[in-house]
Chain A
Amino acid sequence: ETGVTQSPTHLIKTRGQQVTLRCSSQSGHNTVSWYQQALGQGPQFIFQYYREEENGRGNFPPRFSGLQFPNYSSELNVNALELDDSALYLCASSLVMETGYTFGSGTRLTVV
């Protein structure tokens, strides 16, 4: 079975720009979550999607938005980038709570 894949692996953007990060869920998983991990810290929950609907959101402003597609892949969009948005963005997929989460390798976003 394929794992969770994220693209791109690295990205450099200028403050004020917009960015789209992509994630393909592990085969058979119907839930996808996004996390932001600043350097030296644990990941912070951004939001989760289940059946193409947002199913929970962390303490992130509306300029962080997402989509889940019928094939369960997902996008994370961030508008009006700020320097503090520089972080590793992790995507995780799951099927049911009992099986836990599988994470991708992340996208390293640098905002300059």
Chain B
Amino acid sequence: KQEVTQIPAALSVPEGENLVLNCSFTDSAIYNLQWFRQDPGKGLTSLLLIQSSQREQTSGRLNASLDKSSGRSTLYIAASQPGDSATYLCAVNNNAGNMLTFGGGTRLMVKP
């Protein structure tokens, strides 16, 4: 059974800092991995999608890496801003492609 863990559970940083969010998964037989952002009480916004054959994806100030063999992914946020404050969730898509397994999320607070 796939298990996904995100560390840290919460993070508070001053504006402008670069930061790294971690995601680990127990079963490396994944199809792809997706990072999402969730604002309080809202749905999920997809940030980055990494296929199992890829090592990283970039979008603006966000960069996600994937090391499938070690069961790890990181989300790097450059020059953080207060608007980045949200919960960040990683989810792995198993090889059957019919479900996402989510981590518990990292709650990020960026202080002005």
With both beta carbons as reference points, the residue of chain B lying nearest to A56 in the complex is identified as: B98
User: Is there an interface contact between B103 and A101, defined as CB atoms closer than 8 Å?
Assistant: no
User: Is there an interface contact between A103 and B105, defined as CB atoms closer than 8 Å?
Assistant: no
Count of CB-CB pairs between chains A and B under 8 Å: 67
With both beta carbons as reference points, the residue of chain B lying nearest to A10 in the complex is identified as: B41
Q: What size tier do the contact residues of chain A reach?
A: 20 to 34
Q: Within the assembled complex, what's the spacing in Å between the Cα atoms of A88 and B6?
A: 20
Check A33/B99 contact, CB under 8 A, given A42-B89, A88-B41, A90-B44: yes
Check A104/B43 contact, CB under 8 A, given A42-B105, A97-B31: yes
Check A106/B43 contact, CB under 8 A, given A41-B104, A100-B32: yes
User: Is there an interface contact between A56 and B99, defined as CB atoms closer than 8 Å?
Assistant: yes
Interface of B, helix, strand, loop or mixed by DSSP = strand
Residues facing B in A39-75 (CB within 8 A) are 41-45, 48, 50, 55-56, 58
Check A108/B41 contact, CB under 8 A, given A45-B101, A101-B46: yes
B42 interfacial contact with A, CB 8 Å: yes
Q: Point out the residues of chain A lying under 8 angstroms from B60, CB to CB.
A: none
B78 interfacial contact with A, CB 8 Å: no
Q: Point out the residues of chain B lying under 8 angstroms from A99, CB to CB.
A: 49
Q: Within the assembled complex, what's the spacing in Å between the Cα atoms of A39 and B13?
A: 23
Q: Point out the residues of chain A lying under 8 angstroms from B51, CB to CB.
A: 98
User: Is there an interface contact between A42 and B42, defined as CB atoms closer than 8 Å?
Assistant: no
Chain B interface (Cβ within 8 Å of chain A)? 4, 6, 31-32, 34, 36, 41-46, 49, 51, 89, 91, 93, 96-105
